[in-house]
Amino acid sequence: MCGIAAIIHTGGAPVDESALRAMMRAMKHRGPDDEGVLLSGNAGLGFVRLGILDLSSNGHQPMTSADGRFTIIYNGEIFNYIELREELRAKGHVFRTGTDTEVLLAAYAEWGRDMLHRLNGMWAFILLDVKERALFCARDRYGIKPFYHCADGDRILIASDPTAILAVLGRKPLPDHGAILNFLAFNRTDQDAGSFFQGITKLPHGHFARIDLGRPAIDPERWYYLRERLREPLGGPEDFLQLLTDAVALRLRSDVPVGICLSGGLDSASIACLLAGDLRRKDVRTFSAVYGQGRKGDESGFIALLKDRLTDMHATRPDEQGLMDDLDDLTRTQCEPVPSTSIYAQYRVMRLAHEHVTVTLDGQGADELLGGYDYFFGFHFKQLLRQGKALGLAKEVAMHARLHRTSFGLRSLAFFMLPASLRARARMVEKGYIHPEFVRAHMDRTARVAQDLYGSRTVRDALLDHFEHKLEHLLKWADRNSMRFSVEARMPFLDHRLVEQVIPMAERWFIHRGMTKQLLREAMRGRLPEAIRTRADKMGFETPEADWFRSPGFRALIQDMLHSTRFAQRGIVDVGKAQRMYADHLAGRSDRSRDIWKLIHLEKWFTHFID
């Protein structure tokens, strides 16, 4: 895992190396072990390295092919690089290093852009072809690794992180108000190629771009679309277990220590138990966030159930004072607003992991793959209703109510049955603190989110829509948190072989009898403690944020913000309604901690990056 940067002069002028190195300095945390630069006419490539495979200088980048034609800078890991290397050796390629980077170079020389379909991993890379005077840029299937670009006068700037672009941007950054409205109304970011900064755009996941250095421009082309890549479904839990175990094993390939982020939930605990059991890695280190028994978000009781299987477990205890102390660094790390303090819990876990390992395994993607979110019951009920299965719907609603003691599934159904425009308007009514003029000015962007994420007709459609429009913001937060502490995060549930063969499976393997993730629960029967395997709740990296925001320190911070002239002048929030919302929260009349946090972090973001 590393950081890549590039500058391309559209007018043909040579690249200023000092600007390229300024971009590299802005993301040195992504690659503290080594760095390199290549200048080639009107293009410059910069790289900062975090050594994972072949820790010697052989892994230095930019890396050039033996014939001098191709040079690559690359962020990510190709987990099947050993198998690809053997296939390429049989075709006559000679390898001088033990890196997956060299395998990428040879694969491109052999297969061109078609090599992307052979890769199992996560990546964002730029490959210079000096013969064609062109750059080939590509990003992985689901957006695990980042790729940002920006037109800045006569330059195109490319980097792994917006902060690297901001370091050399020839103008003051401006906020994208449509992104801000989606963030406040739907808790969503990254549902399209934009960012919170006007003009800074992502190369979409599953896309590539060929840049002709004679006439430079970035015109993305899709090379992977999940809906068109679905395969024959797996036969059942045994097939799933076999493939998941292989996905975990592949992601253990490393020349540095590997650990696991362990929340105590079904996903990460399954990975941990496969490591300790089937893969005989009881010594793997685990890293968790805990808060004390009985507090919201505390998973220590479930984590303790794994102590007889794992021998090197570590925990951190985030609290309100820690969040206040870390708030500025968290804001700089994420460099865009985040909708939940759970991202801070993950930040703390990665800080802890940095003390012990360089690679972690993570359960990200399991909810999108297996229908794990609570509101997926709404899609399930909607599908049964549309199919006319009244009895089945009644049974599922009753089971859901009994197990979860909530009407959330039915409320989700009611929301999903609304037309997209009404879904957006309903959310604006719910988020009454957003200024009505701000809503009117940017409502069109919100209607698209309402359709893309909440208009699905079936559970399978919802899974596909979430891979296309939701998953990436989780991956972005994980990437930035892990890279802040020079740690590489790997996600076994996002092995494309799993994704392409699980999503076509019958709906009963996703939601059935009031429970989500039935496929994983059945696959882990006998391998996972029953108290974890049969959990009906979903936690993840939750925090006791409701209590935190009633503490004296946060009370002062929030009151100062809500009464500041600058906050009011932004025109985003109806200040009076926001003040009343916080008063209700302080009095315990409601829990508005999620909305309060979004206002805190949005204002921090403005202060750090825009003002």
Buried b (16+ CB within 10 A) or exposed e, 118-139: ebbbbbbbbbbbbeeebbbbbb
Q: Is the dihedral of CA 281, 286, 292, 297 positive or negative?
A: negative
Q: Do the Cβ atoms of 344 and 323 come closer than 8 Å?
A: yes
321: left (phi over 0), alpha (psi -120 to 50) or beta: alpha
C-alpha 605/C-alpha 611 separation (Å) is 9
Q: Do the Cβ atoms of 379 and 462 come closer than 8 Å?
A: yes
Tokens coding 554: 């946060």
Pairing state between β 63-64 and 148-152: unpaired
The crossing angle, in degrees rounded to 10, of helices 552-562 and 320-334 is: 50
* DSSP-derived secondary structure letter, 240: H
Task: Specify burial of residue 531 (Cβ count, 10 A radius: 0-12, 13-18, 19+).
Answer: exposed
Pairing state between β 488-490 and 359-361: parallel
SS3 state of residue 607:
helix
C-alpha 152/C-alpha 163 separation (Å) is 14
- DSSP line for 301-342: HHHHTTTTT-SEEEEE---HHHHHHHHHHHHHHH-S--S-TH
Q: Which amino acid is at 428?
A: M
Which residues form the catalytic set? 2
Q: Do the Cβ atoms of 428 and 434 come closer than 8 Å?
A: yes
**E strands, 513-561, in order:** 515-516
Task: Specify burial of residue 312 (Cβ count, 10 A radius: 0-12, 13-18, 19+).
Answer: exposed
DSSP bridge partners of 522 = none
Q: List, in order, residues 6 or more apart from 553 with CB less than 8 Å away.
A: 320, 321, 324
DSSP bridge partners of 285 = 259, 312
C-alpha 11/C-alpha 428 separation (Å) is 46
> Cβ atoms within 10 A of the Cβ of 538, count?
16
